[in-house]
C-alpha cells in the first residue's frame, strides 16, 4: 500500500484558470457565423478535487501507456492547455475543428456523463453542467460544480482484494497480475469507464484476480474509480503486473456473477462501445476534446446573449442522444468478450438506514471517537501524522462532522482484524457502525499505550547503557593518562586465538568461536555478559579438538597388564583382548560401550583402570549413582549463573584427548526427578550412532564422542532401563571362590596393606591358614572388598603393636624442623615469625589450637624399624587382630536332622551363596499353611506348589492308605527357614521344600550331606535356576557331598564353576521331582516302596569330582 503522501503527489489537482483569462482569451465574442461547437471546443474544463466524489487523477493519458507526463508548469496546467487558454484559434480553423470534434462527440453523447472523472479527463464536468466562466460583463464567474460520479452503475468489473477491505474516501493501491484482467482495466480506461468493484476475499491465502464463485468474496464491497495505474516487472521471467490506485466512492452489494451464457443474444449497445475503427491518435483527440469542451447548456449560460437553436444546428447529436436513451445499455458491455477470464458482477448500492445526525447517541459516540483519536495521537507520532494528513486532504468534506466518514476513518487507521473491518464496512446502521469503529479504536489505544510503555522502558535502558559507556570511556582515558590503560582484554583475546590455532576445530565450531570472540572484543570488561562469553570461549578452547592419544594394541603387553592387576576374570580379559585384536587389524577402533555387571567388591572399577592402562588411553571416572539432574550429563544452559558443561565435556577437558576411557560407575542406581531423567540423557551419549555429534547444552556445538571407550558398571541389570541396556554389551563379573580369594589376598591385598601401614621393611608374616580363616569365618561375600578391610586392619594392629612395644626409646621423635617464618631479622623493628602472636583471645571459641605453634612445609621422614622385629599372624591369634569370627559354623544341623528337615542352597544379596535348611512341622488344626523366616512372595508360592503336589500324590507316596482318602485336612503345617533376619527370595527352593514335606509326612530323615536347589512346577517338573557358582561354593565350604541340581544347569556348572570348588562333590542332574525324592531318600524303606508306586522314567545323570 502506497503512503498517503504518494497518493497526493500522484493525484495533484490542477490550478484553475483565472476568470479574466476565461473571459478575454478562452471565450471570444460570439457571432452568428460561429456555431456552438466552436465555443464547446474553446471553453476550458477546470479540475476539481473533492472527497467522496472526484479523486485527483493524472494530468494526461500518456501515463497509461508507460510514458511519463510532461513537466507541468507552476500552475499545474500543461502547455497545450496554456495555449488554449492564452491564444484563441483562428476563426476558420477553429470553426472547422470544432465542428469535427462535435461530430465525433455526438457518436457517444453520454460518455462524459458517465466518465467525467476518468483518467483521461478526470476533471471534465458532466454534460449539461456549467463548466466555464462567464464572459466579460456577465456579472462575474459562477460556482463551479463537482464532476458527476454515476449514482447507478449496475454492472462492474469485480477485483478481489486481500488483507484489508477498502473504505470510501481512502486510496488503495492494488496489483493485478492476470493478463485478461489487465486488459479489461485498460479497456475501461480507453472507453472512459474507469470504475471497478473491490471485494474482500474470504480466504486470505487465495491469490487470484478473478472471482469464480460469488461465495469467494464478502457480499459488501466498494465502488472504486481507477485514478492512475502503471506497469511493473516483479522479477526476471515473471509476467508484467499492473499497479492501479483505486479511490472508493461508496458501498455496494454484490448480487450475482455475470457469466458468458447470460450475455449471449443481448443486442444492447454498450454506452462505452468503440465508435469506429480509428487510429490511436484520432481516439486521443476525441478524448482530449471530451476533457476540454463543456456542455451546450454551460456555453448557453456563459454566453447568455447568444441564442442557439439546438434543433437546427445540432440535429444529429440530439437525435443520437434520443436514440441511445431508448436503448437498454450497460456501461461495460465491451468487456463481455473477455468472459470468463474476468469477473463481471451485477451490483447494487448498499442502502443505509435513516438516522438523525443530531442524535444524542451518535453525537456521544462521535465525541468519544475524537477523544480516542487525540489520545492515540499523543502516544504515537506516526498515527498523529497519518490522521493529520487525512484531515488536511479531506477539509472540504468535514470528516470529523460526518458520522459515516468518521467511522470509516477510524476503521482505516486501525490495525484490527479483517473480520472486524469488514463488519464496519457491511454495517447499514450508522450507530452500529460508529460503535464497531469505537471498539476498534479502543483496541488501538490499548496497543498504543503498551507500545508507549515498552518504548519508554527501552529508552531508559538505552540511556543507562549509554551513560555507562560514556563513563567507561572516561575511565579509560583516566587510566591511559595514569599509565594503566591496559585492562588485560587484549591479552585475553590473543591467548584465546593462540589456543584455537593449535586445535583442529571443525568448520562449524570455528565459526562459532570467531563469532563469540568478536563479541568479546566489543564487550566492556565491566559488562555482565563479558564473563559469560569469556567462560564460554575458555571451555570451547579447552576441548581437545583433533587431539588423540596413540593406542597400544600389543596383545602380550595387555595380557601382562591385566594379569598383574587382576586374578581370574577370564571372560572379561578375553573380551578386552578381542577388542584390541580388532583394533590391531583395522588400525583404529570405534568407541564401544561395555557394561560390567557383578556383585560389589569383585573389581569392576579397577578393571576399567586396567583396560585403560593396557590400551594406553587416558582414564576418567564419574559415578551416576543417585544422579537426578539431566544437566550433569547434558550441561546447563549458558543463561544460568554458574553454568558449565556436562560430565563428558569435563572429562575431555581433564584428559586433554578425544579418545579416553570413561568409566560410568553405578549405572544401575541412577535416579529420576521432576527436572528430567538422566538415564534418557545417557542414551545419546552411549549410542554409537548418535554420539558422533553429541550436543552439550552449554557448548551448543556438536562434539564427537565416537572415539571414546565407555565402560559402565552395575550390580544388577533389573534396574537399568531397557533402551539403555540395549546399547551396552554386558559382561558378567561373577564372585570369587575361596581359592581365588586366597591368591588375590597373597598377591595383591597383603602387599598393598603392608605398604600402606609403613611396614615394608618389617618382617610381617601372614600365614595362609590365617587368610583361609579370614575367608571362611569373616569374609564370605563374593567380592574381596571386605577381605581387604580385614587385611588392612591386621597390618594396622601390627604397626600399633610394634610402636607400643618399642616405645620412645626404640623409636624416638625426630627434632622439630625450623619454621619457615624464622628468618634472620633485617631490621631491629622486624621480629621473626615465631615471635609473632595471634590477636585471637585464648578464651575465644575454638582456641584449643595454640596460636603460637610453629608451622612448616618440610615433609617428615619415615622412621626405620629396628631389625629383628618379627610379627606372625596365625589362625590361632587371628582373633587378636580382627576380633571373634562372624560365621561360627556352615551348617545348622551337623548331625542327622529330624524328619521334616532338608538342606537347600540360596544366593544372598551380597553376592555370596549360603546353605539354608528348610524346617517343616505339623500340628492339629484345619489344614492351614504358615510360613515364617522373612520369605519372599516367590518362595511362598513354591511352598504352596509343593504342598499341592504332596496332597495330589499322597497315596503314591504312602502317606494315605487309599486314593480317596484326603490328608492334612485336620492338621496345620508350619514352614520355617532359619535366620529370619535375612530376607529370602527367589525361585530355587522348590525341591528342598518338597523334600521336607515328604520327609515329615513319611517320617523319614534326609541325609545331612545332601543339598539341593531348583524350582518345581505344579505337575512335578524341575526348572533350572541361577547363582550356581556361589551356591556350589557354599556347599563346598559346608562339606556337602551330594548336590541335586536341575539338569538345565549342567552347562553353567561345566563352564563357570572351577574344578577346585567342585572337588569332592557328587552332582546329580534331575528333571522330575520323582528323581529328586529317589536321590534324597536313597537306601530308605520308602524309596524301595516308591520303585513300585512312584517309579522313575529314567535314572538321573551323575558326575563325581
More confident residue, 34 or 878: 878
Burial class of residue 804 (count of CB atoms within 10 Å of its CB; 0-12, 13-18, 19+): exposed
User: CA-CA distances (angstroms) from residue 219 to 347, 352, 429, 1025?
Assistant: 10, 15, 16, 83
Strands 694-695 and 593-597: unpaired
Instruction: State the pLDDT confidence band at 1022, using cuts at 50, 70 and 90.
Output: very high
* Region class of 405: left (phi > 0), else alpha (psi between -120 and 50), else beta: alpha
Q: How far apart are CA 194 and CA 153, in angstroms?
A: 12
In-domain check, residue 472 = no
In-domain check, residue 825 = no
More confident residue, 130 or 914: 914
Convert the pLDDT of each residue in 814-872 to its tens digit.
766 555 544 444 444 444 444 444 444 444 444 444 445 567 777 778 888 888 888 89
Contact 1011, 904 (CB under 8 A): yes
Q: How far apart are CA 67 and CA 431, in angstroms?
A: 47
- DSSP letter for each residue of 122-174: TTPPPTTS--S-PPTTSSSPPPPPPPPPPS---EEEEEEE-SS---TT--EEE
Q: How far apart are CA 409 and CA 669, in angstroms?
A: 70
Residues 609 and 647 in one domain: yes
Q: What pLDDT was estimated at residue 852?
A: 53
Q: Write the CATH number for 1007.
A: 3.30.230.10
Q: How far apart are CA 501 and CA 517, in angstroms?
A: 13
User: CA-CA distances (angstroms) from residue 976 to 732, 885, 918, 1014?
Assistant: 33, 26, 6, 18
Looking at every residue in the chain, the average pLDDT score rounds to: 76
More confident residue, 1034 or 1045: 1045
Which residues sit opposite 929 in a β-bridge? 973
Q: How far apart are CA 218 and CA 201, in angstroms?
A: 6
274-278, 781-785, 1033-1037, 1070-1074: least confident range:
274-278
Residues 561 and 694 in one domain: yes
Write down the pTM of the prediction. 0.53
Count of CB atoms situated within 10 Å of the CB of 68: 9
Convert the pLDDT of each residue in 317-335 to its tens digit.
444 444 444 444 567 778 8
Residues in the annotated binding site: 598-605
Residues 280 and 381 in one domain: no
Q: What pLDDT was estimated at residue 512?
A: 93
Residues 6+ apart with CB under 8 A from 403: 355, 357, 362, 365, 366, 430, 433, 434
Q: Tell me the three cell numbers of residue 621.
A: 571416572
Q: How far apart are CA 271 and CA 406, in angstroms?
A: 36
Convert the pLDDT of each residue in 229-262 to its tens digit.
888 876 676 778 889 999 998 899 998 888 877 7
Contact 428, 352 (CB under 8 A): yes
Residue 984 is classified by DSSP as B
- Percent of the chain scoring above 70 in pLDDT: 74
Convert the pLDDT of each residue in 511-537 to its tens digit.
999 999 999 988 888 888 888 999 999
Q: What pLDDT was estimated at residue 320?
A: 46
Q: What pLDDT was estimated at residue 10?
A: 40
Determine the average pLDDT of the residues in 298-310: 40
Residues 870 and 925 in one domain: no
Highest averaged pLDDT of the listed ranges 84-98, 183-197, 394-408: 183-197
Identify which of 489, 487, 546, 539 has the alpha carbon closest to the alpha carbon of residue 518: 489
Determine the average pLDDT of the residues in 148-177: 87
Residue among 146, 287, 1031, 1062 flagged as catalytic: 1031
More confident residue, 4 or 725: 725
Give Cα 76 to chain centroid, integer Å: 62
Q: What pLDDT was estimated at residue 1013?
A: 93
In-domain check, residue 836 = no
Determine the average pLDDT of the residues in 90-114: 38
- DSSP letter for each residue of 712-758: EEES-STTS-HHHHHTSEEEE-PPP-HHHHHHHIIIIIHHHHHHHTT
Contact 1067, 1059 (CB under 8 A): no
In-domain check, residue 815 = no
Which residues sit opposite 729 in a β-bridge? 594
Residues 261 and 146 in one domain: yes
Q: What pLDDT was estimated at residue 1064?
A: 85
Residues 978 and 996 in one domain: yes
Instruction: State the pLDDT confidence band at 961, using cuts at 50, 70 and 90.
Output: confident
Q: How far apart are CA 932 and CA 943, in angstroms?
A: 11
- DSSP letter for each residue of 484-521: ----SHHHHHHHHHHHHHTS---HHHHHHHHHHHHHHH
Instruction: State the pLDDT confidence band at 1044, using cuts at 50, 70 and 90.
Output: very high
Identify which of 442, 433, 383 has the alpha carbon closest to the alpha carbon of residue 406: 433
Query: Which domain range does residue 744 map to?
Result: 737-808+857-888
Instruction: State the pLDDT confidence band at 805, using cuts at 50, 70 and 90.
Output: confident
Burial class of residue 721 (count of CB atoms within 10 Å of its CB; 0-12, 13-18, 19+): middle
More confident residue, 624 or 97: 624
134 catalytic? Reply is: no
Sole residue written with cell 596460636: 851
264-302: burial string, b at 16+ Cβ within 10 Å, e else? eeeeeebbbeeeeeeeeeebbbbbbbbbbbbbbebbbbb
Query: pLDDT at residue 485 above 60?
Result: no
Determine the average pLDDT of the residues in 560-578: 86
In-domain check, residue 832 = no
Query: pLDDT at residue 619 above 60?
Result: yes
User: CA-CA distances (angstroms) from residue 951 to 164, 649, 899, 1001?
Assistant: 90, 65, 18, 11
Highest averaged pLDDT of the listed ranges 48-52, 434-438, 807-811, 857-861: 434-438
Q: How far apart are CA 232 and CA 239, in angstroms?
A: 9
Residues 414 and 318 in one domain: no
Residues in the annotated binding site for ATP: 598-605
In-domain check, residue 475 = no
Q: Which of 849, 865, 888 is the last residue of a domain?
A: 888
More confident residue, 77 or 1091: 1091
Q: How far apart are CA 372 and CA 377, in angstroms?
A: 8
Convert the pLDDT of each residue in 443-478 to its tens digit.
888 888 888 888 888 888 888 888 888 887 887 788
Q: What pLDDT was estimated at residue 8?
A: 40
- DSSP letter for each residue of 374-439: HHHHHH-HHHHHHHHHHHHHTGGGTGGG-HHHHHHHHHHH----HHHHHHHHH---HHHHHHHHHH
Residues 528 and 560 in one domain: no
In-domain check, residue 480 = no
Q: Write the CATH number for 617.
A: 3.40.50.300
144-148, 748-752, 962-966: least confident range:
144-148
Burial class of residue 392 (count of CB atoms within 10 Å of its CB; 0-12, 13-18, 19+): exposed
Convert the pLDDT of each residue in 358-368 to its tens digit.
888 888 888 88
Q: How far apart are CA 283 and CA 186, in angstroms?
A: 14
Q: What pLDDT was estimated at residue 910?
A: 65
Convert the pLDDT of each residue in 691-722 to its tens digit.
888 999 999 999 999 889 999 999 888 889 88
Q: How far apart are CA 364 and CA 372, in angstroms?
A: 12
Query: pLDDT at residue 315 above 50?
Result: no
Instruction: State the pLDDT confidence band at 422, using cuts at 50, 70 and 90.
Output: confident
Determine the average pLDDT of the residues in 997-1014: 92
Q: Which of 684, 717, 732 is the last residue of a domain?
A: 732
Which residues sit opposite 344 in a β-bridge? 157, 258
Residues 700 and 728 in one domain: yes
* Tally of structural domains, the chain: 6
511 catalytic? Reply is: no
Q: Which of 677, 706, 732 is the last residue of a domain?
A: 732
Contact 332, 266 (CB under 8 A): no
Helices assigned H by DSSP within 832-890: 879-882
More confident residue, 313 or 641: 641
Determine the average pLDDT of the residues in 297-311: 40
1062-1099: burial string, b at 16+ Cβ within 10 Å, e else? beebbbbbbbbbbbbbbbbbeebebbeebeeebebeee
Instruction: State the pLDDT confidence band at 770, using cuts at 50, 70 and 90.
Output: very high
In-domain check, residue 847 = no
Burial class of residue 324 (count of CB atoms within 10 Å of its CB; 0-12, 13-18, 19+): middle
User: CA-CA distances (angstroms) from residue 491 to 53, 503, 533, 535, 635?
Assistant: 74, 19, 15, 15, 29
Residues 11 and 103 in one domain: yes
Q: What pLDDT was estimated at residue 1010?
A: 92
Query: pLDDT at residue 962 above 50?
Result: yes
Identify which of 786, 790, 778, 783 has the alpha carbon closest to the alpha carbon of residue 607: 783
Q: What pLDDT was estimated at residue 393?
A: 64
Convert the pLDDT of each residue in 723-757 to its tens digit.
888 888 898 888 788 888 899 999 889 999 999 98
Determine the average pLDDT of the residues in 540-569: 89
Residues 255 and 210 in one domain: yes
Listed as own residue / partner, the contacts of 757-762 with beta carbons closer than 8 Å and 24 or more positions apart are: 757/792, 757/795, 757/796, 757/798, 757/799, 758/799, 758/862, 759/795, 759/798, 759/799, 759/802, 759/865, 761/864, 761/865, 762/802, 762/865, 762/869, 762/871
Query: pLDDT at residue 387 above 80?
Result: no
Q: How far apart are CA 47 and CA 44, in angstroms?
A: 10
Contact 381, 39 (CB under 8 A): no
Convert the pLDDT of each residue in 897-947 to its tens digit.
899 999 999 887 666 788 889 999 999 988 899 999 888 899 999 999 999
Residue among 53, 734, 912, 988 flagged as catalytic: 988
Q: Tell me the three cell numbers of residue 700.
A: 551448543
Q: What pLDDT was estimated at residue 818?
A: 56
Residues 538 and 564 in one domain: no
Contact 357, 403 (CB under 8 A): yes
Identify which of 548, 897, 846, 523 has the alpha carbon closest to the alpha carbon of residue 708: 548
User: CA-CA distances (angstroms) from residue 905 to 891, 954, 977, 983, 1041?
Assistant: 11, 26, 12, 14, 13
Amino acid at each position: 500500500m502506497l503512503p498517503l503522501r504518494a497518493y497526493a503527489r500522484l493525484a495533484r489537482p490542477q490550478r484553475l484558470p483565472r476568470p479574466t483569462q476565461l473571459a478575454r482569451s478562452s471565450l471570444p465574442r460570439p457571432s452568428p457565423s460561429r456555431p456552438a461547437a466552436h465555443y464547446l471546443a474553446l471553453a476550458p474544463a477546470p479540475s476539481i478535487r473533492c472527497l467522496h466524489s472526484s479523486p485527483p487523477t493524472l494530468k494526461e493519458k500518456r501515463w497509461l501507456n508507460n510514458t511519463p507526463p510532461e513537466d507541468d508548469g507552476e500552475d499545474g496546467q500543461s502547455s497545450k492547455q496554456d495555449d488554449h487558454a492564452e491564444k484563441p484559434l483562428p476563426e476558420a480553423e477553429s470553426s472547422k475543428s470544432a465542428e469535427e470534434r462535435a461530430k465525433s462527440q455526438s457518436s457517444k453523447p453520454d460518455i462524459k456523463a458517465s466518465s467525467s472523472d476518468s483518467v483521461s479527463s478526470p476533471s471534465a464536468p458532466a454534460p449539461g453542467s456549467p463548466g466555464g466562466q462567464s464572459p466579460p460583463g456577465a456579472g462575474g464567474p459562477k460556482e463551479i460544480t463537482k464532476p458527476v460520479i454515476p449514482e447507478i452503475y449496475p454492472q462492474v468489473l469485480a477485483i478481489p482484494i486481500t488483507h484489508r477491505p477498502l473504505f470510501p474516501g481512502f486510496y488503495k493501491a492494488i496489483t493485478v497480475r492476470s493478463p485478461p484482467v489487465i486488459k479489461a482495466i485498460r479497456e475501461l480506461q480507453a472507453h472512459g469507464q474507469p470504475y471497478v468493484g473491490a471485494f474482500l476475499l474470504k480466504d486470505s491465502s487465495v491469490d487470484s484476480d478473478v472471482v469464480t464463485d460469488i461465495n469467494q468474496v464478502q457480499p459488501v464491497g466498494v465502488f472504486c474509480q481507477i485514478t492512475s495505474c502503471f506497469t511493473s516487472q516483479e522479477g526476471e521471467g515473471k509476467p508484467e503486473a499492473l499497479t492501479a490506485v483505486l479511490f472508493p466512492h461508496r458501498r455496494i452489494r454484490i448480487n450475482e456473477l455475470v457469466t458468458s451464457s447470460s450475455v449471449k443474444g443481448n443486442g444492447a449497445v454498450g454506452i462505452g462501445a468503440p465508435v469506429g475503427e480509428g487510429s490511436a491518435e484520432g481516439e486521443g483527440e476525441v478524448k482530449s476534446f471530451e476533457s476540454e469542451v463543456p456542455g451546450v447548456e454551460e456555453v448557453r449560460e456563459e454566453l447568455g446573449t447568444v441564442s442557439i437553436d439546438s434543433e437546427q444546428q445540432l440535429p444529429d447529436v440530439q437525435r443520437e442522444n434520443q436514440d441511445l436513451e431508448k436503448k437498454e445499455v450497460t456501461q461495460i458491455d465491451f468487456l463481455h468478450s473477455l468472459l470468463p477470464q474476468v469477473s463481471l458482477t451485477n451490483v447494487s448500492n448498499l442502502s443505509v438506514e435513516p438516522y438523525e445526525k443530531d442524535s444524542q447517541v451518535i453525537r456521544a459516540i462521535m465525541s468519544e471517537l475524537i477523544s480516542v483519536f487525540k489520545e492515540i495521537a499523543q502516544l504515537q507520532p506516526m498515527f498523529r501524522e497519518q490522521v493529520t494528513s487525512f484531515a488536511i486532504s479531506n477539509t472540504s468534506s468535514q470528516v470529523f462532522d460526518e458520522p459515516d466518514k468518521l467511522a470509516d476513518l477510524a476503521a482505516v487507521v486501525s490495525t484490527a482484524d479483517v473480520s472486524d473491518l469488514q463488519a464496519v464496512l457491511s454495517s447499514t446502521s450508522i450507530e452500529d457502525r460508529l460503535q464497531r469503529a469505537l471498539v476498534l479504536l479502543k483496541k488501538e489505544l490499548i496497543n498504543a499505550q503498551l507500545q508507549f510503555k515498552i518504548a519508554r522502558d527501552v529508552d531508559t535502558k538505552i540511556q543507562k547503557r549509554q551513560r555507562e559507556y560514556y563513563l567507561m570511556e572516561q575511565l579509560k582515558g583516566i587510566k591511559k593518562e595514569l599509565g594503566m590503560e591496559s585492562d588485560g582484554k587484549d591479552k585475553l583475546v590473543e591467548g584465546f586465538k593462540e589456543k584455537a590455532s593449535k586445535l583442529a576445530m571443525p568448520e562449524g565450531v570455528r565459526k562459532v568461536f570467531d563469532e563469540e570472540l568478536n563479541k568479546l572484543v566489543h564487550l566492556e570488561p565491566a559488562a555482565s555478559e563479558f564473563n559469560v562469553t569469556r567462560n564460554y570461549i575458555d571451555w570451547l578452547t579447552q576441548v581437545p579438538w583433533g587431539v588423540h592419544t596413540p593406542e597400544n594394541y600389543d596383545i602380550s603387553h595387555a595380557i601382562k597388564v591385566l594379569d598383574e592387576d587382576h586374578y581370574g576374570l577370564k571372560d572379561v580379559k578375553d573380551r578386552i583382548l578381542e577388542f584390541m585384536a580388532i583394533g590391531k587389524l583395522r588400525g583404529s577402533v570405534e568407541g564401544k560401550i561395555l557394561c560390567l555387571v557383578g556383585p560389589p567388591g569383585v573389581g569392576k572399577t579397577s578393571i576399567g583402570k586396567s583396560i585403560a592402562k593396557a590400551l594406553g588411553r587416558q582414564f576418567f571416572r564419574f559415578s551416576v549413582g543417585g544422579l537426578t539432574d539431566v544437566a550433569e550429563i547434558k550441561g546447563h544452559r549458558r543463561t544460568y549463573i554458574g553454568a558449565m558443561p556436562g560430565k563428558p565435556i569435563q572429562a575431555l577437558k581433564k584428559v586433554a584427548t578425544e579418545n579416553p576411557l570413561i568409566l560410568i560407575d553405578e549405572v544401575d542406581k541412577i535416579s529420576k526427578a521432576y527436572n528430567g531423567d538422566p538415564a534418557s540423557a545417557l542414551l545419546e551419549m552411549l549410542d554409537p550412532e548418535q554420539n558422533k555429534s553429541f550436543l552439550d547444552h552449554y557448548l551448543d556445538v556438536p562434539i564427537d564422542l565416537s572415539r571414546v571407550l565407555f565402560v559402565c558398571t552395575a550390580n544388577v541389570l533389573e534396574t537399568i532401563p531397557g533402551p539403555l541396556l540395549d546399547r551396552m554389551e554386558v559382561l558378567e563379573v561373577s564372585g570369587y571362590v575361596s581359592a581365588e580369594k586366597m591368591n588375590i589376598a597373597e598377591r595383591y591385598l597383603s602387599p598393598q596393606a603392608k605398604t600402606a601401614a609403613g611396614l615394608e621393611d618389617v618382617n610381617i608374616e601372614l600365614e595362609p591358614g590365617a587368610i583361609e580363616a579370614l575367608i571362611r569365618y569373616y569374609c564370605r561375600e563374593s567380592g574381596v572388598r571386605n577381605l581387604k578391610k580385614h587385611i588392612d586392619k591386621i597390618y594396622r594392629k601390627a604397626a600399633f603393636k610394634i610402636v607400643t612395644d618399642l616405645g620412645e626409646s626404640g623409636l624416638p621423635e625426630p627434632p622439630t624442623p625450623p619454621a619457615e617464618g624464622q628468618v634472620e631479622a633485617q631490621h631491629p623493628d622486624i621480629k621473626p615469625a615465631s615471635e609473632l602472636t595471634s590477636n585471637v583471645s585464648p578464651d575465644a571459641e575454638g582456641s584449643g589450637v595454640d596460636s603460637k605453634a610453629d608451622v612448616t612445609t618440610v615433609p617428615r621422614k619415615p622412621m626405620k624399624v629396628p631389625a629383628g622385629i618379627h610379627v606372625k599372624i596365625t589362625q590361632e591369634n587371628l582373633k587378636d587382630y580382627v576380633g571373634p569370627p562372624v560365621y561360627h559354623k556352615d551348617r545348622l544341623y551337623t548331625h542327622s536332622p529330624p524328619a521334616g528337615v532338608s538342606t537347600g542352597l540360596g544366593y544372598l544379596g551380597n553376592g555370596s551363596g549360603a546353605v539354608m535348611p528348610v524346617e517343616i512341622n505339623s500340628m492339629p488344626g484345619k489344614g492351614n499353611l504358615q510360613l515364617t523366616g522373612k520369605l519372599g512372595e516367590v518362595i511362598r508360592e513354591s511352598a504352596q506348589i509343593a504342598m499341592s503336589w504332596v496332597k495330589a500324590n499322597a497315596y503314591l507316596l504312602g502317606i494315605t492308605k487309599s486314593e480317596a482318602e484326603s490328608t492334612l485336612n485336620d492338621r496345620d503345617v508350619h514352614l520355617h527357614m532359619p535366620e529370619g533376619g535375612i530376607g529370602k527370595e527367589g525361585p530355587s527352593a522348590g525341591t528342598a521344600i518338597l523334600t521336607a514335606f515328604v520327609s515329615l509326612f513319611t517320617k523319614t530323615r534326609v541325609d545331612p550331606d545332601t543339598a539341593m536347589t531348583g524350582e518345581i512346577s505344579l505337575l512335578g517338573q524341575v526348572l533350572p535356576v541361577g547363582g550356581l557358582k556361589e551356591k556350589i561354593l557354599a556347599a563346598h565350604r559346608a562339606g556337602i557331598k551330594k548336590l541335586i541340581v536341575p539338569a538345565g544347569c549342567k552347562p553353567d556348572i561345566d563352564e563357570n564353576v572351577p574344578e577346585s570348588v567342585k572337588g569332592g562333590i557328587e552332582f546329580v542332574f534331575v528333571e522330575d521331582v520323582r528323581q529328586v525324592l529317589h536321590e534324597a531318600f536313597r537306601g530308605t524303606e520308602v524309596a524301595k516302596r516308591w520303585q513300585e508306586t512312584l517309579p522313575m522314567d529314567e535314572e538321573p545323570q551323575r558326575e563325581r569330582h
